[in-house]
Amino acid sequence: MRKTLKLASISLTGAWIACGLTGCNTCHYATLPAVGPDPTAQTQGHRHGWLEVYTASANTACGQSTLQPSYTDYTIYLDDSWFCVRVHNSRNGDPARPKSVKLPAGTFNVSAQAKDANGGTFNLVIPAVIEAGRATTMHLDGEWRPWDLGASAQLVRLPSGEPVGWSASND
């Protein structure tokens, strides 16, 4: 039991140190419901799916945006929390487009930075459901406005209300 408490204390200390090293970023965490593919998108004949994550911009200095957006990197974990892959989030050297990651069908956890309504960034963990032949897109940059405003029950939202993607549940 002493080892467990000591390990928890070390982990908590590490988290506080990491928070202190983030500079202008705020340090709070959020966990959201699972994001899945757009319910209206057609399925392609593939055994794998894709994940695209529009994370918070890397080219900001304490709320000041630069001309060319660039997305922060993120990490994809298997559903049971084993490390999977760290994603350098630019497509073919184009910092304005996030990388499209090919994944097998299943559920993955994405650890990434999101932008809140006030322009601050925070870390979150969000499940991503990948379906064969379909793309799952997460919009954590605060810029996405869904095409169907009547489908708000089908959306996953940040705690501040910004939509981040389509709900993976079939409710």
pLDDT digits (tens, 9 = 90+) for 114-130: 988 788 888 999 999 99
Record the pTM: 0.74
pLDDT score recorded for residue 20:
37
pLDDT score recorded for residue 119:
81
Which positions ≥6 away from 98 have C-beta within 8 Å? 52, 53, 54, 55, 71, 89, 90, 91
CA distances from 24 to 19, 20, 28, 61, 76 (A): 10, 9, 13, 7, 24
State the average pLDDT for the chain: 76
In a domain, 62, yes or no: yes
CA 105, 170, 139, 115 torsion-angle sign: negative
Which positions ≥6 away from 33 have C-beta within 8 Å? 127, 156, 167, 168, 169
In a domain, 16, yes or no: no
In a domain, 21, yes or no: no
pLDDT score recorded for residue 81:
67
- Structural domain span for residue 35: 26-167
Q: Contact 36/167 with Cβ under 8 angstroms?
A: yes
In a domain, 13, yes or no: no
CA pair distance 43, 15, nearest whole angstrom: 41
CA distances from 96 to 69, 82, 99, 113 (A): 5, 30, 10, 16
In a domain, 2, yes or no: no
In a domain, 103, yes or no: yes
pLDDT score recorded for residue 148:
65
In a domain, 8, yes or no: no
Beta bridge partners of 60: 65
Task: Tell the residue number behind the tokens 């073919």, with chain if given.
Answer: 92
In a domain, 42, yes or no: yes
The count of structural domains within the chain is 1
Identity of the amino acid at 55: T
pLDDT digits (tens, 9 = 90+) for 15-70: 333 333 344 444 445 678 999 999 888 888 889 999 999 999 876 555 555 555 68
pLDDT score recorded for residue 43:
83
Q: How confident is the model at residue 149 (pLDDT cuts 50, 70, 90)?
A: low
